[in-house]
């Protein structure tokens, strides 16, 4: 296999202070291009995705994965990636994984509608080919509270608590950008993904439904395919972040057995 690419320059100040399992925007900026390079069309085998994660972990001095990830065995990485294999066929849409690793909250139906209105106001209809400039100018539910304040650590290095919003937005959009166009329908669908079909239908009525709130059979099929995902939401995990749920589900004993 080809050698892993050289990592990008070290993350700029201020550094992001995050929960142990979460990827920084710098780490996302390393991993997402690796996934895109392997599968521009977004469909990737579980095996190939695991190999890319292992390559990211091996990038010397890049800190491309959180420290807590580095001890995962290949079988555990495979379990983690396989959570996004909807059909058990050994293939995933890596954008689902990337979005989960960005760890953004699910939008409300009102927040989805607000983005659709912004697109309409600028005369750019919702599609999977929204210009990157237009997409970057929209107001997103996960990047609306302003940049976190910069603080100074005991070592004199500036830091922020949480993600830098603009950098997080860039990471999310980059995962859904193909040939300079943002796949906005897919991004909103995947961000709204739920184990419940009914929940997804309510969430995405503005994207797929008609003016009366109805769905054609074809649109129903799209919602089922794109916006339903058995993301682990078992008791005890549902209040945790997406990254924590995915990580813990991947490490859970197989067959529902409790660890001894």
Show pLDDT as tens, one digit a residue, over the chain (260 residues): 555 555 555 655 688 888 878 889 999 999 999 999 999 989 999 999 999 999 988 875 667 888 888 888 889 899 889 888 888 899 999 998 898 888 888 898 899 999 999 999 988 888 889 999 999 999 999 988 778 888 988 888 888 998 899 999 999 999 999 999 999 999 999 998 887 788 888 888 888 887 777 888 888 888 888 887 765 543 344 456 778 777 777 777 654 444 33
Element at 152 (helix H, strand E) = strand 151-152
H helices present in the chain, as ranges:
25-38, 46-58, 74-82, 94-102, 109-121, 132-137, 165-175, 184-191, 197-203, 205-208, 217-227, 242-251
Q: What is the pLDDT of residue 11?
A: 57
Q: What is the pLDDT of residue 258?
A: 40
Has this prediction a pTM greater than 0.85? no
* Whether 111 contacts 192, CB under 8 Å: no
| DSSP 8-state assignment for residue 129 | -
Q: What is the pLDDT of residue 59?
A: 79
- The tokens for 45 are 């085998």
Q: What is the pLDDT of residue 196?
A: 79
Alpha carbons 186 and 95: distance in angstroms, whole number: 9
Q: What is the pLDDT of residue 240?
A: 63
- The tokens for 47 are 């095996």
Q: What is the pLDDT of residue 60?
A: 59
- The tokens for 118 are 């912004």
């Amino acid at each position: 296999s080809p050698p892993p690419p050289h990592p990008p320059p070290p993350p700029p100040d201020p550094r992001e202070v995050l929960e142990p399992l979460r990827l920084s925007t710098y780490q996302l900026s390393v991993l997402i291009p690796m996934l895109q390079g392997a599968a521009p069309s977004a469909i990737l085998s579980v095996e190939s995705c695991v190999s890319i994660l292992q390559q990211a972990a091996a990038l010397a001095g890049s800190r491309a994965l959180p420290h807590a990830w580095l001890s995962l065995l290949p079988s555990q990485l495979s379990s983690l990636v396989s959570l996004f294999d909807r059909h058990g066929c050994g293939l995933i849409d890596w954008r689902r994984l990337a979005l989960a690793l960005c760890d953004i909250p699910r939008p409300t139906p009102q927040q989805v509608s607000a983005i659709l209105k912004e697109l309409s106001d600028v005369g750019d209809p919702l599609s999977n080919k929204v210009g990157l400039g237009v997409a970057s100018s929209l107001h997103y539910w996960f990047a609306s509270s302003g940049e976190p304040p910069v603080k100074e650590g005991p070592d004199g290095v500036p830091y922020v608590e949480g993600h830098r919003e603009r950098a997080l937005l860039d990471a999310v959009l980059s995962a859904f950008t193909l040939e300079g166009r943002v796949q906005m329908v897919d991004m909103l669908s995947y961000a709204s993904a739920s184990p419940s079909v009914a929940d997804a239908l309510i969430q995405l009525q503005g994207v797929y439904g008609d003016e009366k709130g109805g769905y054609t059979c074809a649109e129903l099929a799209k919602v089922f395919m794109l916006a339903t995902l058995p993301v682990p939401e078992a008791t005890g995990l549902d209040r945790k972040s997406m990254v924590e749920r995915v990580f813990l589900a991947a490490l859970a004993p197989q067959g529902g057995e409790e660890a001894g």
